[in-house]
Amino acid sequence: MAVLAPSSFGLAPSPVQPLVWRVQALLAAYLPLVVMAVLASGTWWLVKNTPLLEGPTEAIAPRHLPDYSMKNFDLQRIGADGRLRIRIEGSELRHFPDTDTLEIDGVRLRAIAADGSQTLATAGRAISNGNASEIQLLGKVNLRRFDSKQQGAALSAPRLEVRGEFLQLLANTEQLRSHLPVTLIHAGSELHARSFDYDHLRAHLSFDGPTSARFNASAKR
């Protein structure tokens, strides 16, 4: 496993380090925690607010069939200041009681921080366990972070973008990882890795397998 991390004090940094430093700083600032909070909030709300069907109380052998579903849903969470904080949309949501998992098709997530910065995420499908401690985004995953904007202004180019076919988020250990290739884009520079693992608690970003990067020499730090 190739680990890219800041060099020791006094050593000249290699050309790849500035981009890695900036990517790691941005990941630490928002990606794992914000997306975990978005999905955790959504799953908690959906489970708590879905009415239970009355019926026989006799035990029934569990089958992998959804006990409830929602189509074309739009969940919003408003902050104490009355402003939108979290929005989760999807074409369909299903809850499976035998495994206590939630599946969302065509998931679209938006999280707005207090400073106005936004994190947007889309994926073909999302899978979460019952307590939202483990979340998987599958198929055409795209996560983007935007700086705050002026009232009524359009969002500028994303500060950081992560693309891939799979992302796994582990809330308890605060990790974001993928065993499939990912692309990280920041300030016009791109980093391609066969797989990666970001550990927020250890502030550690590592890549496995062949890793390549294309740098934008004119980009600002």
Tell me the per-residue pLDDT of 118-136, one tens digit each, with 9 for 90 and over.
888 899 999 888 776 788 8
SS3 118: strand
Number of structural domains the chain divides into: 1
Domain annotation covers residue 4? no
59 alpha carbon, distance to own chain's centre: 37
pLDDT category of residue 217 using cuts at 50, 70 and 90: low
201: in domain: yes
Domain assignment present for 111: yes
CATH number where 81 lies:
2.60.450.10
Per-residue pLDDT of 139-164, as tens digits, reads 999 988 887 765 555 566 788 888 99
Mean pLDDT of the chain: 75
Tokens for 152, please give them: 């009524």
Residue 8 in domain: no
Q: What is the mean pLDDT of residues 82-87?
A: 80
Domain that holds residue 185: 16-50+68-214
**Rounded CA Rg of the chain:** 19
Q: Confidence band (pLDDT; 50, 70, 90) for 8?
A: very low
Assign 15 a pLDDT band (cuts: 50, 70, 90): very low
> Which element (helix H / strand E) includes 120?
strand 118-129
| pLDDT for 166 beyond 90 | yes
Domain assignment present for 56: no
Enter the pTM of the model. 0.70
